[in-house]
């Protein structure tokens, strides 16, 4: 279901890019036991989105989280989503046409965001850091810091490790695709110049979250 994108690109631009967009949506449905809407709402509550805010979803996949985020920020808010996969962006745009929600999607590498400095109040990156090698993660963190407004915040969510002896199917999936420890997410954002204000467990599927803010 995965392919390595840009095999001849510099190492910081390589990473796992998911091309099977429909299969990705099915996987999320399986991971959440069919409760994907409640799952996304739970993640977005951590971001404390407010009406009128500008939001960027990095590694947006098929766009479902960005669409829900748009409903939170309302008609005066703006939401963009970026993903390296053209198939993911195509499916996200199809969802937007179907729902009529005003979200703009762009195909782009997370390490080179196509936005101006200090453009967003909030940046989201959920379940995608583990797809990137360390150098690419560092470049992404710097880019997040660049596009955040002074005082803006980032919500990063990813799978942590597991110490369970008995492995489920999803445990084997996560092991294949990797995970990022909570302390490593915090260090990544901190080293990029952002201050950690909250971190912990999301409460589902060994997902951890970190919230950091850009300096004023």
Which of 141-145, 153-157, 165-169 has the least mean pLDDT?
A: 165-169
CA 158 vs CA 10, 17, 90: distances in Å: 24, 16, 24
Which of 5-9, 41-45, 188-192, 211-215 has the least mean pLDDT?
A: 5-9
pLDDT attached to residue 20: 54
Q: Across-strand partners of 79?
A: 55
Report the predicted TM-score, pTM, of the whole model to 2 decimal places: 0.81
How is 127-196 classified by DSSP, letter by letter?
A: S-GGGS-HHHHHHHHHHHHHHEEEEEEEEEEEE-----SS--HHHHHHHHH----HHHHHHHHHHTT-EE
pLDDT digit string, tens, across residues 26-51: 566 556 555 667 778 988 999 999 99
* Whether the predicted pLDDT of 100 surpasses 70: yes
CA 111 vs CA 13, 138, 141, 144: distances in Å: 7, 8, 8, 9
pLDDT digit string, tens, across residues 170-182: 444 444 456 899 9
Which of 8-17, 74-83, 96-105 has the least mean pLDDT?
A: 8-17
* Whether the predicted pLDDT of 204 surpasses 70: yes
The C-alpha angle 142, 148, 154, rounded to 5 degrees, equals 80
* Whether the predicted pLDDT of 23 surpasses 80: no
Residue 13: pLDDT band (50, 70, 90) is low
Percentage with pLDDT > 90 across the chain: 64
pLDDT attached to residue 11: 36
b/e per residue, 144-181, with b = 16+ CB within 10 A?
bbbbbbeebbbbbbbbbeeeeeeeeeeeeebeeeebbe
Write out the H or E segment, with its range, that includes residue 87. helix 86-99
- Show the domain range for 73: 2-213
Residue 206: pLDDT band (50, 70, 90) is confident
Q: How many domains does the chain have?
A: 1
* Whether the predicted pLDDT of 17 surpasses 90: no
pLDDT digit string, tens, across residues 107-146: 999 999 999 999 999 999 998 898 899 999 999 999 999 9
With contact defined as beta carbons under 8 Å apart, do 53 and 77 qualify? yes
| β-strands 16-18, 78-83 pairing | unpaired
Burial of 135 (0-12, 13-18, 19+ CB in 10 A): middle
Number of Cβ within a 10 Å radius of residue 209: 20
CATH classification of the domain holding 119: 3.40.50.150
């Amino acid at each position: 279901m995965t392919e390595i994108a840009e095999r001849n690109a510099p190492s910081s631009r390589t990473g796992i890019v998911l091309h099977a967009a429909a299969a990705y949506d099915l996987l999320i449905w399986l991971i959440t036991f069919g409760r994907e809407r409640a799952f996304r709402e739970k993640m977005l509550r951590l971001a404390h989105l407010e009406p009128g805010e500008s939001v960027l979803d990095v590694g947006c996949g098929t766009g479902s989280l960005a669409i829900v985020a748009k409903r939170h920020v309302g008609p005066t808010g703006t939401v963009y989503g970026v993903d390296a996969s053209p198939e993911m962006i195509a499916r996200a745009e199809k969802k937007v046409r179907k729902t009529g929600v005003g979200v703009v999607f762009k195909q782009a590498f997370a390490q080179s965001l196509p936005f101006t400095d200090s453009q967003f109040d909030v940046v989201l990156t959920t379940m995608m850091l583990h797809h990137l090698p360390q150098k690419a993660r560092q470049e992404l963190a710097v880019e997040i810091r660049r596009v955040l407004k002074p005082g803006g915040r980032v919500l990063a969510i990813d799978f942590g490790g597991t110490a369970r002896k008995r492995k489920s199917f999803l445990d084997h999936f996560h092991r294949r695709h990797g995970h990022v420890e909570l302390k490593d997410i915090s260090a990544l954002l901190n080293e990029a110049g952002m201050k950690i204000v909250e971190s912990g467990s999301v409460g589902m599927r060994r997902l951890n979250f970190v919230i950091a803010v850009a300096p004023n």
